[in-house]
């Protein structure tokens, strides 16, 4: 806040920023004049601190309501955002959303996850699958890391969250096994680790058809 308050003088009409720390140079205090098109954008989340009222009064203040204000995202918006981070499989999207909604219902107001947590969980799943981690393990590990490790209160940490421990949907299990067999057929010379990587990549990208065998692919 103190750093931002230094900009108050700069935001005055015709204002400049005096750099007193440099001392006097050639009989003058160094100053910084803003460009004619200079604009300053500040974003604030009250959870992490406030911007001073003096600073806020110098601009146009826009409030963007969030999930806690009842402005929830539509399911299509959420699916689109998950698509944007690389999760193209509908089964994975559905599982992530269902886990997010379940955790959200069980936690108190101060601990409720937001859409950011859901997207972060999706990113973790994508990263783990890209590294070759098995699909089921990737989903469960990502949900645990994002939703459980971020809890702050002891009462929340002691919560059971049975939906995070339950078996993943049959559609994911069944498709994972079928796709694994297809990768075995398409890439018989690949190691198990590389086959798992290919299987994961095909699944997360939503490729429900048989993996296409590429002749020039081989292990070095």
pLDDT, one tens digit per residue, over 33-47 is 888 888 888 888 776
Orientation angle between helical segments 135-143 and 170-186, nearest 10 degrees:
140
The model carries a pTM of 0.53
Cα 179 from Cα 196, distance rounded (Å) = 10
With contact defined as beta carbons under 8 Å apart, do 24 and 17 qualify?
no
| Residue 25 backbone dihedrals phi, psi, to 5 degrees | -120, 120
Q: Which residues pair with 28 in a beta bridge?
A: 25
Q: What is the DSSP letter of 14?
A: T
More confident residue, 46 or 102: 102
**Residue 144, CA atoms < 13 Å, CB-side half-sphere:** 10
The label of the residue with tokens 């996850």 reads 113
- Which pLDDT does position 83 carry in this prediction? 92
Share of the chain above pLDDT 90, in %: 7
| Residue 92 backbone dihedrals phi, psi, to 5 degrees | -65, -45
């Amino acid at each position: 806040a103190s750093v931002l308050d230094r900009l108050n003088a700069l935001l005055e009409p015709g204002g400049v920023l005096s750099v007193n720390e440099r001392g006097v140079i050639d009989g003058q205090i160094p100053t910084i004049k803003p460009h004619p098109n200079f604009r300053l954008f500040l974003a604030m989340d009250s959870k992490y601190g406030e911007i001073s009222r003096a600073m806020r009064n110098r601009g146009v203040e826009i409030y963007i309501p969030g999930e806690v204000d009842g402005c929830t995202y539509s399911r299509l918006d959420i699916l689109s955002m998950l698509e944007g981070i690389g999760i193209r499989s509908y089964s994975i999207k559905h599982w992530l959303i269902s886990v997010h909604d379940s955790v959200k219902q069980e936690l108190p107001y101060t601990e409720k996850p937001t859409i950011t947590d859901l997207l972060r969980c999706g990113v973790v799943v994508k990263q783990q699958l890209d590294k070759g981690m098995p699909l089921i393990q990737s989903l469960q590990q990502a949900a645990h890391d994002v939703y459980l490790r971020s809890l702050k209160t002891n009462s929340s940490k002691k919560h059971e969250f049975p939906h995070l421990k339950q078996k993943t949907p049959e559609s994911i299990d069944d498709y994972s096994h079928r796709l694994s067999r297809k990768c075995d057929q398409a890439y018989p010379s690949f190691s198990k680790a590389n086959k798992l990587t290919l299987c994961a990549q095909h699944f997360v990208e939503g490729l429900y058809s048989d993996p296409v065998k590429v002749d020039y692919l081989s292990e070095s």
